[in-house]
A and B are shown apart, each in its own frame.
Chain A
Amino acid sequence: QSALTQPPSASGSPGQSVTITCTGSSSDVGDYDHVSWYQQHPGKAPKLMISEVSKRRSGVPDRFSGSKFGNTASLTVSGLQAEDEAAYYCTSYAGSNNFVVFGGGTKLTVL
């Protein structure tokens, strides 16, 4: 069981927006602004999309945005495109004991 909770699936039509949530606790997401989001296409290595809650990595389209409220972080994909269909994982720094925790991943389908 993953330390961070993500919905197993999400979907949207091309052009729509979809938001994926990542719920942790006051020991990780709620206590640190060190949430990252990764995109993974089938058979490929994950790719860092967002770090520090909302900072897009260079080259990542501004259709991708991140935010956080309390113990829940969110990834929003606006103007969905077919190439956005992938699995998305969140991670958070969790202090010196656990250090890093992962979410269970969300499969995003573009209808």
Chain B
Amino acid sequence: QITLKESGPTLVKPTQTLTLTCTFSGFSLSTSGVGVGWIRQPPGKALEWLALIFWNDDEHYNPSLRNRLTITKDTSKNQVLLTLADVDPVDTATYYCARAFYYIGAALSDWGQGTLVTVSS
């Protein structure tokens, strides 16, 4: 059974750095073609892709947020971390992590439940 779960702060102040952790089970990030991605959704709005990291350490970022995002993986712990620097209230959103498959255009096959992060002073 594949599971993913997001964790991190629920409230962050403007200009701070947000760090989120995706802890997963049922698959390995050392398997060829496998990756983990982060996607967010502001309240009442559309999904927005943020970043992806793959089994071969290949990293990809949304060009519009690239200078603020960092994605890393700890294969031994089955975790993927996402940091978002210099947050603003517009970064308030539910943040999801999902398993991705490189060879089919990064289709996101399994998703976590999401975690709501509010940016406010």
Q: Which residues of A contact B (CB under 8 A)?
A: 2, 32-36, 38, 40, 45-48, 51-52, 57, 89, 91-93, 97-105
Contacts and interface: CB of A to CB of B under 8 A. Distances in A.
Interface string B98-109: 100100111111
Contacts of B60: 99-100
Given A34-B104, A100-B49, 18 more contacts: A34-B106, A36-B104, A40-B47, A45-B112, A46-B47, A46-B111, A47-B111, A48-B107, A51-B105, A52-B107, A89-B47, A91-B49, A91-B106, A91-B108, A93-B106, A102-B48, A104-B46, A105-B46
A52 B105 CA distance: 8
16 contacts: A2-B46, A32-B105, A33-B105, A36-B104, A36-B105, A45-B111, A45-B113, A46-B39, A46-B98, A46-B111, A48-B108, A89-B47, A93-B105, A100-B49, A102-B47, A102-B49
Nearest to A6: B46
A94 to B, nearest CB: 9
A52 B63 contact: no
Interface of B: 37, 39, 46-49, 52, 60, 63, 96, 98, 101, 104-114
A97 B63 CA distance: 8
A45 B49 CA distance: 14
Nearest to A48: B109
A57 B104 CA distance: 12
Contacts of B108: 36, 38, 46, 48, 91
Contact of A92 (B39, B47, B105, B109): B105
Contacts of B104: 34, 36, 51-52
